[in-house]
Structure 1
Amino acid sequence: MNPAAEYFRAKLHFEIDVMDVADSLPGGGMVLVDTRRRVSWEHGHIQGALHLPTAHIPEQAQGLIPAGTNVVVYSWGPGCNGSTFAALAFAELGYPVREMTGGIEYWARNGLPVETADGVSAGTADRLVTAHLPAAPELTPPAS
């Protein structure tokens, strides 16, 4: 097999799409972990996620998540590699771990519910990032 194919096969094994996570919640045989700082968590997080900032994973993960549990981590979004550091920390502890691509940003941009102290709400899905909306009406040229 060529190196590029090996790389992308491995990458897909360790990543999971936002919509795949949404489709498997609640439960889904995994623990969803928000790895951001407290203030970011309070701005909004995925309902049912466990808040465990990356810096605390080495000391706290084993007391919160049973060994062998499938873990999915997320952080802000594509412009942030916090969830990559978190995934590495979980992997070094021996957990089967995947990184949710797109983070909370693409969760919200897909119109999925976000929880805050005020409750749970979902925004309007962005047509550029989700295929789960009705198709936009096709434009027809005016009659000549």
Structure 2
Amino acid sequence: MSAVLASGLATASESAQFFAAQLQFRTDAADLAADLIAAQAQIVVIDTRSTAAYQAGHIPGAVSVPHRTMTVESTANWDRQLVYVCYCDGIGCNGSTWGAYKLAKLGFQVKELIGGLRYWQQDGYAVATGDAAGVLMANTIDCEC
């Protein structure tokens, strides 16, 4: 018997629902970069890591909000009409998951960046350093998917 099929197989309809749900919850570096370059005003990128990690290198345009500091009080003036994209170091870190979870519990629309800063850099996108958010100016990377 096939090792791939041993656990069963979802129907096409079940698969479509599952993958549609994943796309509602996550985004990738190429899609985020496209929105940052296009200056999509409804997207806010949140770096959920420590302030020191943010200063060492972050996605241009990202705001430093360590997930441990996310509270009703710290987000009281945030716009609930915006979509917040959370990221951390990468798949070995759950800071983006914690950040997205906390923001969702507080009533914000959120997505999580697949692979975090590691996949962002692996895909060849620039990083900014220091306290300034910076701006992603151009996309010289062609997504091969």
Q: How does the TM-score come out when normalised to structure 2? A: 0.75
Equivalence for 1:45: 58
Structure number with the bigger relative contact order (C-alpha 8 A, sep ≥ 6) is 2
Q: How many residues are aligned here?
A: 123
The runs of at least 4 consecutive aligned structure 1 residues that moved more than 6 Å come to: none
Q: Distance in 2 between matches of 1:37 and 1:118?
A: 12
Equivalence for 2:114: 101
Equivalence for 2:18: 7
Equivalence for 1:138: none
Letter in 2 for 1:97: V
Q: Distance in 1 between matches of 2:102 and 2:36?
A: 23
Which of the pair is proportionally richer in strand?
A: 1
Give the alignment of 1:123-134 within 5 angstroms: 132=142
Query: Contact between 1:18 and 1:107, CA under 8 Å: does it hold in 2?
Result: yes
Q: Distance in 1 between matches of 2:97 and 2:131?
A: 29
Q: How does the TM-score come out when normalised to structure 1? A: 0.75
Structure 1 counterpart of 2:94, from 63, 81, 89: 81
Larger radius of gyration: 1
* Change over 3 Å in CA distance of 1:39–1:118 after alignment to 2: closer
Give structure 2 stretches of 5+ with no counterpart. 1-12, 135-140
Give structure 1 stretches of 5+ with no counterpart. 121-130, 135-144
Equivalence for 1:117: 130
Q: Sequence identity of aligned pairs in percent? A: 35
